[in-house]
Structure 1
Amino acid sequence: MTENRRTLYPEIEPYDTGMLDVGDGHTIYWERVGTPGGKPAVFLHGGPGAGCSPGQRRQFDPALYDVLLFDQRGCGRSTPFASLDHNTTWDIVGDMERLREMCGHEKWLVFGGSWGSTLALSYAQTHPDRVTELVLRGIFLSRQSELDWLCSYGASELYPEEWDRFVDHVPKDRQDDLIEAYRDLLDDPDPEVRKAAASAWNRWEGVTVTLLPEEDTINNMADGENAVATARIENHYFRNGCFLDEGQLLENAHKLAGIPGVIVQGRHDCCTPPRSAWDLKQVWPEVELQIVSDGGHLYTEPGITDGLVRASDRFAGKSA
């Protein structure tokens, strides 16, 4: 029933922040929100490359949780900004372990959406003994079919006018491989060329993540402070299959056995369509898959928010 949907918790400020040197020349920004000594949790932002934002803190009851959020390598307030060196899925998995140890947690709930779900699954399959629960949104398994959906054929058929705009930014003789073509533009020595390419790359993603037209969201993604970092880092990960073997997260799903989990997936998610969530459910039968009939990709959509907040409440022992 849509009239009983949960909403985000009120705005909250971190009770502690800092920078952690994780090696390889990278320093990670982190923040902790909620109540010290509360249920440990880690939040994984999307992108790759997006960085965390104040609104993401609000998916947890601050009276019950002690949540760590951090900007992944090259993102947000982490340094060096937009760096691709030593920036892989497995580097970030290692950073998560360093952050867990810094916090003094034996185990924690892992919460991530979109690329954050990819990272959450990678971490949980590597360190299942460190995960109490998984709360996931907009499943992205980094299979070739998912990359093709975004960058070759699929979403292109739903947003033809925006797809043509995305493609037309690339020279005609390079349009058969947009990921590689954009890589060259994003690495161009001319900062204006890089900026324009980042704007075009991010605008296309912004279109696919918004269920209903949200020009402010799309424009912020296209031209916000993190636009170049988001585009460069995301393109870097896409070019490398997110540093995962084809189908790896499905093949290793047996390692999640015994970990309670909830997937909140929008039926009309045009960025990470429901097929991947469904495929994951087939090999991880214990997980609860919620397909939100009027939902898209973003956590701020009413049905998606409701599912995520109810899941985090439940795993903290709070009744509906």
Structure 2
Amino acid sequence: MDDDLYPPLPVRAEGLLDVGDGHRIFCQDAGNPDGKPVMVLHGGPGSGIASMSRRHFDPDAYRIIQFDQRGAGRSTPNIGEPDADLATNTLWHLVSDLELLRERLNIERWQLFGGSWGSTLALAYAQTHPSRVSEIVLRGVFTVRGSELDWIYRGGAANLFPAEWEEFLAPLPENLRKDPLAGYGELLASEDRGVRERAAIAWSVWEGATVALLPQEAFRNQYASPAFALTFARLAVHYFRHGAWLEEGQLIRDAGRLAGIPGVLVQGRYDSVCPPITAYQLHRAWPGSSLQLTEGAGHAVNDPGILAALRAATDGFR
């Protein structure tokens, strides 16, 4: 795996940016300060900066920028508790945060790099501010359409993971199992911390169980951590119950706005979280994009072939 990654890279600068609404986002800057700017967008919503993500880029060629999205990681306030305000935490707030950060860093245009939910945010930002984007590299494409949510949260993927699906449903009373998204929304808003924590862990463990082509205990352990799960689950349910504040199919419908922006879509053939149909349809709608369907891979960034494809893409745009 290390052969497909650049060596570990320390952060050169970091800090908090006040983006309004009582939010401050935690940002990091690494690599060559005079290099090609790239914004690395984390998944989730709610997972936060991953240091490994810097290793997709040649540190001599790239200036690598990351941030914890509202409510996640070291951004404040953290959204893990039920009394934390979610009213000013939407996809379009995140798009505005990105643009404010770009202006603050005095960057004319930057490359966007994101996987899963990070691909959603990248597409939303690029379609809103296409003149500010030089290239886009996406992995495990996700656009928050109803069909995509039905697949992973309303029983589609249960056909591949029946035992794990039963565990996912276990915290939900029978009357809430028809729509697990809505049901988890109720549990995660409970005043009983035990109820919230059990629900958050079950939600997160489902994600960890389905993410890799072959089971990886490290994923399951990370997702089962209560400190991680409470934020991750609450933000994900909040976003997905609202369809990420997108019109149905919007990001594929409006892919024509990306014409002139080169893009690489790296997609695992056996991705059971974000099946390949979404990446395929986006590619067909986006002039100038290329789709690299990676055989023998699922959704995880370290599944076979994914890291090599991502490095080839970033080196190609270097």
**Same fold by TM-score greater than 0.5:** yes
Does residue 278 (structure 1) correspond to residue 280 (structure 2)? The answer is yes
2:222·2:228 contact (CA, 8 Å) conserved in 1? no
Matched, 1:45 2:42: yes
1:294 equivalent among 288, 293, 296? 296
Q: Contact (CA 8 Å) 1:6, 1:310: kept in 2 or not?
A: no
Alpha-carbon separation, structure 1, partners of 2:144 and 2:229: 21
Q: Which residue of 1 aligns with 2:153?
A: 151
Partner SS, residue 4 of structure 2: coil
TM-score, normalised via structure 1 length: 0.96
Contact 1:50-1:226 within 8 A present in 2 as well = yes
Q: Is the 8 A contact 2:43 2:116 kept in 1?
A: yes
Equivalent residues of 2:269, 2:296 under 8 A apart? yes
- The offset of 1:204, in angstroms, is 0.5
**Structure 2 letter corresponding to 1:259:** I
Deviation at 1:56, TM superposition (A): 1.2
**Matched residue, 1:308:** 310
8 Å CA contact retained: 1:60, 1:312: yes
Which residue type is aligned with residue 137 of structure 2?
V
Provide the residue aligned with 1:129 in structure 2: 131
Pairing 1:165–2:162 present: no
Could you tell me which runs of 5 or more consecutive residues in structure 2 were left unpaired when the two chains were aligned. none
Aligned partner of 1:214 in structure 2 is: 216
Partner residue of 1:63? 60
Q: Is the CA contact 2:212–2:303 (under 8 Å) kept in the aligned structure 1? A: no
- Separation in 2 of the partners of 1:244 and 1:145? 14
Select the residue among 101, 104, 114 that pairs with 2:103: 101
Distance in 2 (CA, whole Å) between partners of 1:182 and 1:288 is 37
Matches within 5 A, 1:170-209: 170-209=172-211
Equivalent residue number for residue 7 of structure 1: 4
Q: Note the alpha carbon deviations across 1:232-278, whole angstroms, 9 max, x for none.
A: 00000010001100010111111000000000000010000000001
Task: Please name the residue that 1:142 is paired with.
Answer: 144
TM-score by length of structure 2 reads: 0.96
- 8 Å CA contact 1:7–1:302 kept in 2: the answer is no
Decide whether the 8 Å contact of 2:205 with 2:224 is kept in 1.
yes
Q: Tell me the distance in 2 between the aligned counterparts of 1:282 and 1:153.
A: 27
RMSD over equivalenced CA pairs, Å? 1.3
The 4+ residue runs of structure 1 with deviation greater than 4 A are: none
Cα distance, 1:297 vs. partner? 0.8
Q: 2: distance between equivalents of 1:154 and 1:191?
A: 30
- Cα deviation 1:121-178 (Å, max 9, x = unaligned): 0000000000000000001011000000011121100000000111122001111011
Percent identical among aligned pairs is 50
Say which is worse superposed, 219-228 or 156-165, in terms of deviation. Answer: 219-228
